[in-house]
Amino acid sequence: MTEKETLQVDGNDHTEEQKCVTGVPSRDEISPPKGLYQSFVKPLYDKVFSFFLLISIAPVLLLLALLVKIDSKGPAIFKQKRVGLLGKVFTIYKFRSMREPNGLGENPFTAKNDPRLTRIGKIIRDVRADELPQLWNVLKGDMSLIGPRPEQVEIVKQLNSSLPDYHLRHIVKPGITGWAQVKYKYTDTKSDVPQKLQYDFYYIQNMSFKIDLYIIFATLRVVLSGQNRGER
């Protein structure tokens, strides 16, 4: 499905700007955070930080892309549909870390020592370098630096059906890192989703500069230690 294709939900066609996953409330039915930090400061530093970081690490991004291409066949950048703010479907960008993309018939959750991982893929995942292209998503406005993890479209449809409150995590933009990613244990199954969802709700209800700053430093600790590698 390309960016300009439509997604059939609730029996209606939706344009790219209106594409939503079944079960996500409309804009009129929910109230996103409206504080000064959430509505102005956070979006501003998302744009500024992602812009300058992309420029400053451009040589590193090029080197990583080259290593991914040399290590295994396939594109350097892996693209996949994910669900973002208010259920809008967007394309996420990551460095490819697997020999073959996740298909709908495969386990969409990647295990810690997944045999599909390439040699370079395992390394860049351990230090979360595979996430760096998502800075482009942040600059575009699809994501924030910090927020709930963006999930795949099919997974969201399933979880909306089994977890009545799951759609509430979409009242904020998804993030490259977040409270659940740094506070919850490593998991590669759906069984822990309800618990992780509570961490997402905690962040949404308590979003602040202080918490975001904590998450940034906690993420650095996770990167350096290689621990808490959740499913992505």
Half-sphere exposure of 4 (CA within 13 A, CB side): 0
Q: E strands of 121-204, at which residues?
A: 144-146, 175-177
Indicate if the pLDDT at residue 143 is higher than 60.
yes
Span 103-115, pLDDT tens digits: 444 555 555 566 7
| Residue-averaged pLDDT of the chain | 81
Span 212-231, pLDDT tens digits: 999 999 998 877 776 655 44
| Short-list 171, 7, 159, 162, CA closest to 81 | 7
What percent of the chain has pLDDT above 70?
74
Rounded Cα distance between 148 and 107, Å, is 21
Percentages helix, strand, coil for the chain (3-state, rounded to 5) are 50, 10, 40
Q: Which residues pair with 110 in a beta bridge?
A: none
Indicate if the pLDDT at residue 186 is higher than 80.
no
Q: What is the pTM of this model?
A: 0.80
Task: Give the per-residue pLDDT at 126.
Answer: 84
Tell me the average pLDDT across 181-204: 80
Span 127-136, pLDDT tens digits: 889 999 999 9
Residue 5: which pLDDT band, with cuts at 50, 70 and 90? Answer: very low
Task: Give the per-residue pLDDT at 129.
Answer: 92
Burial class (CB in 10 A: 0-12, 13-18, 19+), 141: middle
CA angle 43, 45, 16 (to 5 degrees): 35
Phi, psi of 34 (to 5 degrees): -120, 10
Rounded Cα distance between 211 and 205, Å, is 11
Contact 125, 97 (CB under 8 A): yes
Q: Which residues pair with 92 in a beta bridge?
A: 80
154-175 b/e with 16+ CB inside 10 Å = b?
ebbebbbeebeebbbbbbbbbb
Task: Give the per-residue pLDDT at 101.
Answer: 54
Residue 184: which pLDDT band, with cuts at 50, 70 and 90? Answer: confident
Span 55-78, pLDDT tens digits: 999 999 999 999 999 998 889 999
Rounded Cα distance between 82 and 33, Å, is 22
